[in-house]
Amino acid sequence: MDIKLLRKVHIVGIGGCASSAVAEYLVRRNIVVTGSEKKERGGLEKLEALGVKIFYGHNKKNVLEYGERPDIVLYSPAVTSLDPNNPELSASRENKIQLSSWQSFIGKYLSGIGKTGITISGSEGKGTTGGILTAILKDTEFDPLSILGAKIKGIANGEDSNIYLGNGSTYILEADEYNRNFFNYSPDINVMINFQYEHPETYKNFEEYKEAFYKYFTNMRGRKTLIFRATDNIVDFAKQYSIDKTHKIIWFGEDKRVLSKTTGDKYYIENHKLSESGNYFNISHSDGNIDIHLPFLPGYIVSNAVGALLAAKELGLQTDKIINNIKNFKGMVRRFDVAKTIGTGAIVADYGHSPESINCIVGELRNIYKGKKIHLIFQPHLFSRTYNFFDDFILALKKADKISVVDIYPAREKEEEWKDRVSSEMLYEELKRLGAEVYFVGDRANLYEKLIDKIDPDEATCFIGAGDMDLYYDKLIKNFIQ
């Protein structure tokens, strides 16, 4: 369907990070948008202020009885996972209203508007890399349309937003592998920073996971450029599928041992120094060296920044312009999002939700806040992920000095199908058995009363997880920040 012909769109599951961005994009194209969520929730005030009518509770009336019927009904795949017979989707089918996942809709639209497509794929770092690239390309000839699953700080007229409506020649998307959603996209350039087995609810093993990425890359178009961080997993993957035979690959990284296994264009990250004032490093290439200061944290963000920098360079943006613009990046909401406390420590909010991301965050906290105790407040995301990686989560969480465990955020899964197999209380009990200093929070609504006397402003405290505890911890954090 031609977006220019749309008068009204209804979005089922409009509260999702990316689906809300799609809603905002459509509204700003002067299309009437309505949407629904299973239950009342925060975070949708901006859409409501833009005139979006949001219904709480799924009902066929939301589609059929509010003004004119929509031209198309979009949905998040999480909606069909929870209820394949969702009444709004059923009503759309019965009344012959076009149905589409928002990923399929936006993928078809973007592939037909003549812009150069850039996606960020992989198991971690998609939002941050996309945010940095958006800041680099902003107000240049490549000024992008960016739709991300995370909010970029101050990107839209000083406001935090997960959508940026540029007027240039590019678009930027996160290539989400869950449910094979990224099969809807056909980019010209793709950046990949991390590659670990994820989403066991979609892929039965790492081989199946890799096969999906290979299929995604074969669907690229145009210049077919892959910008890969040189990790053992990514290098092995590229060799396994002989991707260098069909794609242009640009490699980068700090590990010279791994980079030595690659062929083609290589960028070395060298002399990396980290302090509370940010990251200092240089990039070595056959064309010369580039010295960079990133005035933001943490240390791993260097990889995100270099991936974004090389994507901008591949587009043709001059290096001096890239280095200047990268300083416009102010950070991402809930991506190592730091608030200084009234003590000598800090409170960090992070979206990490895998054992690997917990390992990484703990390492960063120890590097930045040397000598400080580390307190992780963890909300697991998905029963399937917690169940399949239970032992890995235990090993990762134990690296902190203190752990507080919040109930599992079910997202698209049904608690009754999992409650006898895995729970946050099981994580708590195992950590306690192993001698960890661990506290059980339970319901995220209990965060204040359970943790008000457990948070120490002289420690490095991190709220970590991809669930919704951010809707509950503000009151608690306000007691400790400057």
Kindly report, residue by residue over 254-266, the tens digit of the pLDDT: 999 999 999 989 9
d(CA 343, CA 456): 8
pLDDT digits (tens, 9 = 90+) for 299-317: 999 999 999 999 999 999 9
Predicted confidence (pLDDT) at residue 441 exceeds the cutoff of 80: yes
The three-point CA angle 448-453-455 to 5° equals 85
CB count within 10 Å of CB 390 equals: 17
pLDDT interval class at 356 (50, 70, 90): very high
Identify the pLDDT of residue 296: 86
Q: In what order do the strands lie in the sheet with 159-165?
A: 159-165, 145-156, 170-174, 116-121, 189-192, 225-229, 248-253, 265-275, 278-285, 288-294
Cα 196-436-301 angle, rounded to 5 deg: 35
Tokens of 216: 């995604």
The predicted-structure confidence for 91-101, as pLDDT tens digits, reads as follows 999 999 999 99
Give residue for tokens 């199946």.
208
**Termini Cα distance of the chain:** 50
* pLDDT score for 48: 92
* Per-residue pLDDT reduced to its tens digit, 458-475: 999 999 999 899 889 988
**Beta bridge pairs of residue 291:** 282
194 secondary structure, DSSP code = -
Rounded to whole angstroms, the Cα distance separating 122 from 125 reads 7
Token pair, residue 269, equals: 């990250």
Cα–Cα distance measured from residue 22 to residue 44, given in angstroms and rounded to the nearest whole number:
13
* Token pair recorded at residue 117: 């497509």
CATH fold match for the domains 3-105 and 114-326: no
Return d(Cα 346, Cα 364) in angstroms, integer: 13
Whether residue 135 contacts residue 326, with contact meaning beta carbons closer than 8 Å, is answered with: yes
Question: Is the pLDDT reported for residue 482 higher than 80?
Answer: no
C-alpha distances out from residue 89 to 13, 77, 212, 428, Å: 11, 12, 27, 39
- Evaluate whether 442 touches 448 at the Cβ level (below 8 Å): no
- 19, two tokens: 């689906």
Q: How confident is the model at residue 43 (pLDDT cuts 50, 70, 90)?
A: confident
Beta-sheet pairing, 159-165 with 72-75: unpaired
pLDDT at 1: 57
For the structural domain made of 114-326, what CATH number should be given? 3.40.1190.10
- Label residue 66 by pLDDT band (50, 70, 90): confident
Residue spans of alpha helices (H) in 327-464: 355-368, 383-388, 390-397, 424-433, 447-451
Indicate the SS3 state at residue 307.
Answer: helix
Give the tokens for residue 373.
Answer: 């105790």
* Euclidean distance between CA atoms 419 and 223, whole angstroms: 48
**Which CATH number is 337-477 given?**
3.90.190.20
- Residue 476's pLDDT is 93
Which two structure tokens, joined as six digits, stand for 343?
């003590």
- What is the Cα–Cα distance from 355 to 206, expressed in whole angstroms? 15
Dump pLDDT digits (tens) for 122-155: 998 899 999 999 999 999 999 999 999 889 999 9
Rounded Cα–Cα distance for residues 306 and 314 (Å): 12
CATH number of 3-105: 3.40.50.720
Beta carbons within 8 Å of 454's beta carbon, 6+ residues apart = 375, 402, 404, 439
Strand partners, 386: none
What pLDDT, on the 0 to 100 scale, is given for residue 38? Answer: 85
In the three-class reduction of DSSP (H, G, I as helix; E, B as strand; rest coil), residue 353 is classed as coil
**Domain ranges, ordered by start, for the chain:** 3-105, 114-326, 337-477
Supply 61's token pair: 């009336």
Per-position DSSP letters for 280-304, written without gaps between them: EEEEEETTEEEEEEE-S--TTHHHH
Under the banding of pLDDT at 50, 70 and 90, the label for residue 277 is confident
Give the separation between CA 166 and CA 143, rounded to whole angstroms. Answer: 5
Mean residue pLDDT of the chain comes to: 93
